[in-house]
Every structure is written in C-alpha cells, then in structure tokens.
Structure 1
Amino acid sequence: MSKEPDEELPLRERKKRATRQRISDIATGLFRERGFDAVTVAEVARAAGVSAMTVFNYFPRKEDLFLDRIPQAAELFAAAVRDRAAGEPPLTALRRLALRLLDERHPLSGVGETYAPFWRIVADSPALRARAREGVEEVEAVLAAALAEAGAADPPLLAALTIAAYRTVYVASALRLLAGDPVDEVARDHRARLKSAFAALERTGLDC
C-alpha cells in the first residue's frame, strides 16, 4: 500500500500539521456551537490548550481558522498542472482533479452530507464571506503561475475562467445543499455541470 502524502513528511512537519488541524477542528466546533463572530481567538486558544500566539502562527487571521483549506486548494490546483503527464493539456488534469474531489466528497468539492452547516456559518458572517472571496483570488494567482510554467496561451485569463467556472458550480451545489436537496442528486448534477464547464473551457484553446 502506498503511503499517504503526510506519512512521507518528516516527523516535525507531521506534528505541525497535526497541531494545525487540531486547532482548526476545535475552532470549527466552537463556531458551529456559537457562531463565528461570537467566538474569539483567545477562546479557541484556551480550548486547544495553546497560546493565542501559537494560533496566529498557524492561522494569520481568525477567518483562516474556519476557511483553513485555502492553501490546500491552491496547492492542489497548481499540482494538478505541474504534475500532469507529459503532453497532457492542463485543463484535462484540472478536470480530473475536480471530478476526483467530487468522488471523494472532499470538502473542496462542496458536496457532502455534512457540509450544509459549514456554508450556513459562512453565509451568516460578512468577515468569512470576504475572506472566501480573497481565497478565490489567491488560488487563482497560484494557478496562473502554474499555467504560465506549463506554457498556456494566456495564463491569467485561463486561471480566472477556470476558477470562476469551478466556483460557480461549487456555489450552486452549496446553495442546493443549504436548501435541503438530496446529496446524491446534487452530486450527480454537480458532475454534469463540471464536465460542461471544462468542455467550454477547452473550446477556448487557452491551454495550448
């Protein structure tokens, strides 16, 4: 059996990632209980048994405690382009990533049995909504850099279109989950919309 990515990291790095995840999980639990704006970083630190400075070492802003997967999203999108097979178009690799995230019901897919409460918290907090928009821009910038390395015709434009398409499908599915639609039905439509979105992106010819 192949090792998971974290298992290949040095022990020190694995411990840091575990600490980061534990702090985020504790913060998320508090936010779900009381609402994002009602919980302070100091309270998160006390619950996690660390100092507020330690929390900020891992999460520069309070919003990052909840929206903690922005760096992972940037890493995954960029890696899909950089690690693709020789001769494979970047959009083909990105489509495969998007569908894999959906199949895994990964949080970055936006589709899962337990994700509606997450989006309810985001919807109720202007600070989280603003940070989410910034996160989209950060992922777009990292993807544009990877596409430039891959020789795309117009990296910034292709990155913007790709992230906009992904976000549009993502948000539509999140809204349906918030409305109580069955997860399997949402996932089926999500897959179809992703395929349509990437087919439209491929017709631009920008990844050549």
Structure 2
Amino acid sequence: MQDQMVEPVGVRARAKASLRQRIVETAMGLFEADGYDAVSTTRIAEAAEVTQRTVFRYFPRKDLIVYAAADEVLAFEAALEAALADGTPPRAAVLAALSATARYCEDHRDSMRSFARLLAGSASLRSSEFDRQSRLEWLCALALESAEAFRARRAVPELRCCMMAGSVMGMIRPVVRDWQAGAAYSLTEAIDHAAAAITALMDYANTCYEDMLVAATGTN
C-alpha cells in the first residue's frame, strides 16, 4: 500500500525533471545556433512542444535556462556551506570551495564552454553574469569573515574580508575564463596549484587593509 502511494509521486517528479531537461536542451540548442538574444521564450516553447507558460513555470527568466545547464556559483555556495559546517577555518574553507567548484566545472565542461560562447555574443547575458559574479565574491567575503556571517548571509561583509575576496576572485576569474575559452589545462589542477598564491593574495589584501586603516586614522 505504501509503495502504491509513493510511486505516483516519484513518477511525477521524474516527468517534471524530464520536461525541465527537455526545455534546457532545446533552448541551449537554439541559443548555440542563433545566439542567446535572438531566441525568444515563445520560440523555445514551440521547439520544446510546450506552452510558454510552462517554460516560465520552470524558468521565470530566460537566463535561468542557461544557468540550469551548469551553475558554478551555486556549486561554490554549496561547497562553502559544507566546509564551514564541518568546522573548516574560513580561509581553508574558501580554498576547499574553489577546488570543489573547479571539479564541478570540469564535470560540466561542455556546458561551461557553451555558456562562454553565448556570453561573448550577448550584452544582456553579460549583465546577468556580472550579478552572479558579484554574488560569488560576496559569498567568499562572508565566508572569510566567519561561518556565522556566511550562515546569516549578511548584506555587507567586513571591508577587510571584501578586499580579500576581491583579490581572490580577481585571480580566479581570468583562469576560469581562459579555461572556458578552450585552454588545454586542467582547471582543477590549475586552482589547486594556485592555492599558495591565493593564500598570499589574501595575506597581502589583509596587510593593505591594515595599512589603509593606519593611514586613515593616524594610529599604529
């Protein structure tokens, strides 16, 4: 009796997941062929043989379809969450999350590189990506401040931590972009090998913050 009650729920869940995946695959094929900006949600719905309302039910914004194929920001957030929950110190948690995110990107290589091609041809998608990258830096700053600040998703992290996060992401982004553009190196190995440099950048940003504070207040 219990199995009979559970199975329809499982069937519905699989059907929804299958429909969602069909919309994503259809849309990504259209985006690749004609460019992100040239493809409307109406056209996606027609090609996927669903209503436009169905498309919006799964994806309230068109850019969310692109990120459904691979979302490294969510992967980074989840990895930070797990590391901090295990009691990993903030800096080590950031390094662990960067490494985990690199593995995620490698596992979704085709989608990540497809996204990079779409990004190059769409100003509207680049605007969405700017917001996502800002979130990535914000999450990093919160984690560097404390596990408590990260869990609370504080609106404004400490300036010291913002400077440290900015230096880290400033180094990582070009590496990821180069890899997305087709560079032959392993992103996972590149990020892992850069761990010492990333740590040094955090130290340097912290020193800059302290020097700035001394200059501003006139105290040692």
Once the two structures are TM-superposed, the CA of residue 149 in structure 1 deviates from its matched residue by 6.7
Residue 133 of structure 2 aligns with which residue? 136
Residues 17-166 of structure 1: pairs in structure 2 closer than 5 A: 17-68=17-68, 69=71, 72-73=74-75, 75-83=77-85, 85-86=86-87, 88-104=88-104, 105-107=106-108, 112=109, 115-141=112-138, 150-151=147-148, 155-157=157-159, 158=161, 161-162=164-165, 165-166=168-169
Q: Does the Cα contact within 8 Å between 2:145 and 2:157 map onto a contact in 1?
A: yes
User: Within 2, Cα distance between the matches of 1:16 and 1:163?
Assistant: 39
1:182 alignment partner AA: A
The answer for unaligned runs of 5 or more in structure 2 is 1-8, 151-155, 210-220
Q: Does the Cα contact within 8 Å between 2:80 and 2:93 map onto a contact in 1?
A: no
The structure having more radius of gyration, on CA atoms, is 2
Q: More displaced, 39-48 or 139-148?
A: 139-148
Q: SS state of the match for residue 37, structure 1?
A: coil
Superposition TM-score, scaled by structure 1 size: 0.68
Q: Does the Cα contact within 8 Å between 1:27 and 1:65 map onto a contact in 2?
A: yes
* Residue 181 in structure 1 maps to residue 178 in structure 2: no
| Greater RCO (CA < 8 Å, at least 6 residues apart) | 1
Q: More displaced, 22-31 or 195-204?
A: 195-204
Structure 1 residues 123, 144: CA separation in 2 closer, same or farther (over 3 Å shift)? Answer: same
Once the two structures are TM-superposed, the CA of residue 132 in structure 1 deviates from its matched residue by 0.2
Once the two structures are TM-superposed, the CA of residue 40 in structure 1 deviates from its matched residue by 0.9
The answer for unaligned runs of 5 or more in structure 1 is 1-9
* Residue 197 in structure 1 maps to residue 165 in structure 2: no
Q: Identity rate of aligned residues, in percent?
A: 26
1:170 alignment partner AA: R
Once the two structures are TM-superposed, the CA of residue 159 in structure 1 deviates from its matched residue by 5.6
Structure 1 residues 96, 71: CA separation in 2 closer, same or farther (over 3 Å shift)? Answer: closer
2:123 alignment partner AA: P
Please provide the CA RMSD for this pair.
Answer: 3.7
Q: SS state of the match for residue 60, structure 2?
A: coil
User: Within 2, Cα distance between the matches of 1:21 and 1:79?
Assistant: 27
The structure where helix makes up a greater share of residues is 2
Once the two structures are TM-superposed, the CA of residue 128 in structure 1 deviates from its matched residue by 0.7
